[in-house]
Amino acid sequence: MALSADSEKDVAMVEVQLDADHDYPQGLLIAFSACTTVLVAVHLFALMISTCILPNIEAVSNVHNLNSVKESPHERMHRHIELAWAFSTVIGTLLFLAEVVLLCWVKFLPLKKKTDNTPQSNSSSITSGQAAAIASTSIMVPFGLIFIVFAVHFYRSLVSHKTDRQFQELNELAEFARLQDQLDHRESEVAKITRALHTVLQR
């Protein structure tokens, strides 16, 4: 069994040798195949967007022009970039944790055939392979829950910060509008005084 993740490219590669003599549960094989396929597809999708956006970011960073920044694809496609980041970071990590659990079940489950004839296996209803798979699942489930709680907390912190920034910008706009109204009011008063003085001088 081999499981490796390339942190630079965010591409997961899974390699496993199945026991041809063991009758695997159909649901386990389907779950393993689907999880592996979706895991690789999600990371490749994020890699594709990162590869396409990076040259534009480097090009815009060398141009000191605000219009060029607004016209850059990474500004127009920020929703797609955030979606790819969420897929690669959140969904990809959860799929990777699930992949480890499924790999343990696929690899260790056939060990029951080799231990069924021993006296220890007859006295226990759980074989050594099943015990190893259950142990890996028991360890991985709490880590998955901790990761979900952290992801929700981090997302709520980002949303709260973004909301505070928007309220701050609205308050700044309101203050600017108030100052503009005061300035317009003073200009109108100055214009009235000027017209009054001009009328008095004409008399």
Question: pTM higher than 0.75 for the full model?
Answer: no
Residue 131 and residue 54: Cα distance in Å, rounded? 46
Spatial contact of 93 and 39, defined as CB atoms under 8 Å apart: no
Check residues 187 and 96 and name the one with the higher pLDDT. 96
Per domain, the residue ranges of the chain are 2-109
Q: What confidence tens digit (pLDDT) does each residue in 27-61 have?
A: 988 998 898 889 888 888 888 877 777 776 666 66
Taking the C-alpha atoms of 38, 40, 45 and 49 in order, what is their torsion angle to the nearest 10 degrees?
Answer: 150
Residue 176 and residue 174: Cα distance in Å, rounded? 5
- Rounded to an integer, the average pLDDT of 121-149 is 83
For position 139, what pLDDT does the model report? 92
